[in-house]
Amino acid sequence: MTPGDGSVSQAMAAWRRAASARERAVRAEEAAARHERWAAATGRELHLDIAAALYSAAGCHRSSARLQESFARRMTWWEQGHGARPRFMSGVAEACGTSSAALTLVDGRQRQLAVAASDRPARAAQDLEFMLSEGPTKDATRSRNLVFASREAIEARWPCYGPALTALGIHEVAAVPLDSSDRCLGALAVFDPRPGLVGTRTFTEIVGALARTVLLDPDADPELYGGIDHRDVVQQAAGMLSVHLGCHVEDALALIKARAFSDAESLETLAGQIVAGDLKITPRGSP
């Protein structure tokens, strides 16, 4: 896509979503203040609990607005002919004080469905999780709790994934689940975040913004302005390979993952070769 090909509408949509989020934040704060006054007048703690929940929601809405505004500014700048096409996740990473962050969506069995990354290291890290079936995102979605590891603990916790991650030059990772009311949507992984960020209100609001509004709001763009990758080529390659080998698609996908990891090749490149007919994969031991 080049400047002018839908970029203006995406920038305008982001500005509109940012304005809507700020309006919601104001309404939530006003409602919270009312409940605080009612608590003072009646002495009922229930109003304080409601006020706290509303203030939390307001913080998430404001965080959502900031993320949308960040993307809108970048998109407008790009549309004017400056720099590379922006990614929504770049703004998320920036808010976390780093250049590398990734959002992963999962199904009910915690299997990766799609990924959006801010840069190449973040994408490489998520590809490693996809290939090896271990790592912080998988642990976060399975436990539905924050996962944090740094330096030697990374390799100790994930024997296969850990050394491969640190080989990318990443020394710290935090992953937190994106919970909706009834299930886990996925997780946000942040690599080498700003010191002291994890566990703060700011970090909690960024995660809440992603889970509550950026992905699930009625006016949301769940594709993150084209930044979500559903691994279509990989899935197509797995389907073709399953037919060729006469095996289940999941087994074919496992073969592709193993080959990509052993060859230190990107999944998309390898899958593209299979789809194009330039590469044949056979199980180990086959003639």
Structural tokens at position 65: 């607005």
Condensed to tens digits (0 to 9), the pLDDT of residues 90-103 reads 999 999 999 999 99
Query: What is d(CA 201, CA 167) in angstroms, rounded to the nearest whole number?
Result: 31
Per the CB < 8 A criterion, the answer to whether 127 and 118 are in contact is no
| Per-residue pLDDT at 1 | 46
| Per-residue pLDDT at 285 | 54
Comparing 207 with 112, the larger pLDDT belongs to: 207
| Per-residue pLDDT at 161 | 96
Q: Is the pLDDT of residue 229 over 90?
A: yes
pLDDT-wise least confident of 17-31, 39-53, 223-237 = 223-237
Summarize the confidence of residues 127-137 as an average pLDDT. Answer: 94
Q: Is the pLDDT of residue 287 over 60?
A: no
Tracing tokens 């996740």 back to the chain, one arrives at: 89
Summarize the confidence of residues 133-161 as an average pLDDT. Answer: 95
Question: Which residue, among 193, 201, 12, has the nearest Cα to 209 in the 3D structure?
Answer: 201
Question: Which residue, among 71, 77, 108, 114, has the nearest Cα to 90 in the 3D structure?
Answer: 71
Q: Is the pLDDT of residue 110 over 90?
A: no
Structural tokens at position 136: 């912080």
Tracing tokens 């929601």 back to the chain, one arrives at: 57
How far apart, in Å, are the Cα atoms of 190 and each of 182, 194, 203, 239, 257?
24, 10, 10, 32, 23
Per the CB < 8 A criterion, the answer to whether 112 and 104 are in contact is yes
Percent of the chain scoring above 90 in pLDDT:
69
Summarize the confidence of residues 45-58 as an average pLDDT. Answer: 96
